[in-house]
Structure 1
Amino acid sequence: MSKPLAVRRRGAGEPLVLLHPLALSGELWTPLAEALSDEFQVFALDLRGHGASAWDGTPFTIEDLADDVARTLDDLDLPSASLLGLSMGGSVAVNFAGRHPGRVRSLVLADTTAWYGEDAVTTWAERAQKAVAVPRAKQVTFQLDRWFSPDFRERHPEEADRVVKIFLRTNSEAHAAASIAMGAMDSRPLLRSVTAPTLVLVGRHDYATPPSMARQLAEGIDGAELEILPDLRHLSLVERPLLAGRVRQHLRRVTETR
């Protein structure tokens, strides 16, 4: 893929790259980008085939998505940056940080994993088939239950609806291709190569990437911090905007030592 990824920019300061979950886009990060843009220059990327980023229809891997990020940072003239990834975006961030440790100043991994387990290929192949066979509107109930707690959906229907609209606009074929990539992923050998200060966050009730997966990340990355967040499910950083403060605190550890 030669075309650069679509990027949303906001703010000024130390660079922070945001990587979104499967079947969503960089638009997801609007509230977090606004919260952090007073101190950081925030770049919210659309991964291959998602949002406004191009895709030629051929299969791709998590490594390919990480390579896309590397090329985009080159295009932005960013030799290094802090990375924050959620779900699929976190998996891409792990791969990037393990293969390009010198380019990552700080790392936040939310509700994500380096490996989905022994049955991942089969499970994700089924998810891929449903992504194209089931109308997108009929996939929403399944997604909402994974993304947000029932209490959040009841109290903040407008925010849940905002995320649903991003999902509905996502290309179903790209959704399927990314699902296959997730199933094939095994970045566990890269964890020991990650050198950036790392914060691992996970919702206690995230059953898409449960706390056991977050714990494996934190144990595999030298010096990583793990925080299990009460009451939250898969999109923890969306459901609890105040977590922007915790992210800021972690990122400042790097900027204060530069």
Structure 2
Amino acid sequence: MIPSTSTAGPLAVRRWGAGEPVVLLHPLATSGELWTPLAEALADEFQVFAFDLRGHGESSWDGKPFSIADLADDLGAALDALGLETVSLLGLSMGGSVGVNFAGRFPARVRSLVLADTTAYYGDDAPQVWAERAEKAVSVPRSKQVAFQLDRWFSPEFREANPNEADRIVKIFLRTNSEAHAAASIAMGEMDSRSLLPSVTASTLVLVGEHDYATPPEMAAALADGIPGADLEVQTGLRHMSLIERPALAERVRAHLKTGTTGTETA
């Protein structure tokens, strides 16, 4: 663990490997621990960092409301503390939204970008929808939220064939602070980073599960359309946590991080 500093207090960071730095940003109500399999797959060639975002995992939080831009500022402060001027970024869901904000506001700091199952904007009704989710995050016992989350995260086929991996993610979710989960939900609902998309200069790969109904393919298409030169790949049969459900995507990620080139085939 590497302590670094944000405006809300220290952030926890996991690190693997050596080489060019790659930062992995996790989804809502999880932590950097989620990335262990992908980080281990990439660590033979890259120095991989997985941050616990504010209030998640082992990172601190002052209990105050925050925005997606605040989480991006936390990332910048953490990179400064680690002496990393430029990095490659990979974000899934909320982590991807943070990555979009950071890459759009600080384009010179991001060499390449992978955005998985994410969006810059959830729609006009997002504040109300996410406020309702925030209320449930604190009023419903976490164990009773699991069925809703699992159905969003993974296809039934994956859950049946890989119960241990699904359970690993569930345990991370259950350990997440409910108040931080709620605060992050409010931040997601208030987010609108669409105006930042044209400012992204990093070579960008957008991935999305074919059956992701949390951030569906049309949201991914809007990202790819808005970011200059971005490539979109729809992954057949997958839901919201595409990079967890299909570990072989690590090699697609590796190719993008190494070359900045993107393919056109779907998996």
Give the TM-score of the pair, scaled to structure 2.
Answer: 0.95
Q: What residue ranges of structure 1 are gaps of 5+ in the alignment?
A: none
Which residue of 48, 51, 54 corresponds with 2:54? 48
Question: Residues 4 and 71 of structure 1 are in contact (CA less than 8 Å); yes or no, is this contact kept in structure 2?
Answer: no
CA offset at residue 4 of structure 1?
3.2
Task: Structure 2 unaligned segments of length 5 or more: list them.
Answer: 1-6, 262-267
Structure-1 separation of matches of 2:245 and 2:158: 7
Alignment of 1:48-197 (within 5 A): 48-197=54-203
1:231 aligns with 2:242: no
C-alpha distance in 2, partners of 1:183/1:234? Answer: 18
CA contact (8 A) 1:19 1:89 kept: yes
- 1:68-96 C-alpha deviation (Å, 9 max, x unpaired): 00000000100010000000000000000
**Aligned counterparts of 1:125 and 1:19: Cα–Cα separation in 2:** 23
Provide the secondary structure at the position in 2 that maps to 1:109.
strand
Q: Distance in 2 between matches of 1:195 and 1:146?
A: 31
In structure 1, give the amino acid aligned to 2:138: V
User: 1:23–1:167: 8 Å Cα contact kept in structure 2?
Assistant: yes
Distance 2:220 2:35 in 1: 21
Counterpart for residue 26 of structure 1: 32
Counterpart AA for 1:53 = S
2:17 pairs with one of 3, 11, 25: 11
Please report the TM-score for the alignment, with normalisation by the length of structure 1. 0.98
State the Cα distance separating 1:5 from its structure 2 match. Answer: 1.4
Cα shift at 1:2: 4.9
Q: CA deviation at 1:214?
A: 0.1
Amino acid corresponding to residue 234 of structure 1 in structure 2 = H
CA separation in 1, counterparts of 2:121 and 2:256?
25
Q: Is the 8 A contact 1:94 1:191 kept in 2?
A: yes
Provide the C-alpha distance between the structure 2 equivalents of 1:6 and 1:170, rounded to a whole number of angstroms. Answer: 14
Q: What is the percentage of aligned positions where both structures have the same residue?
A: 76
Residue type matched to 2:60 in 1?
Answer: A
Contact between 2:8 and 2:61, CA under 8 Å: does it hold in 1?
A: no
2: CA distance between counterparts of 1:60 and 1:35?
32
Distance 1:105 1:68, change over 3 A: same
Q: Does structure 1 conserve the Cα–Cα contact (< 8 Å) formed by 2:8 and 2:54? A: no
Number of residue-to-residue matches in the alignment: 255
Report if the CA contact (8 A) 1:4-1:75 is conserved.
no
Shift of 1:3: 2.5
Q: Secondary structure at the match of 2:9?
A: coil
3-state secondary structure, aligned to 1:4: strand
Contact 1:10 1:42 in 2 (8 A): yes
Q: Give the AA of the match of 1:122.
A: Q
What is the distance in 1 between the residues matched to 2:260 and 2:236? 27
Deviations 1:37-69 (A, max 9, x none): 000000000000000000010000000000000
Alignment partners' CA distance in 1, 2:213 and 2:8:
36
Aligned mates of 1:129, 1:249 — CA distance in 2: 41
Q: State the alpha-carbon separation in 1 of the partners of residues 8 and 116 from structure 2.
A: 29
Instruction: Report whether the alignment pairs 1:240 with 2:246.
Output: yes
Cα distance between partner residues in 2 of 1:254 and 1:150: 33
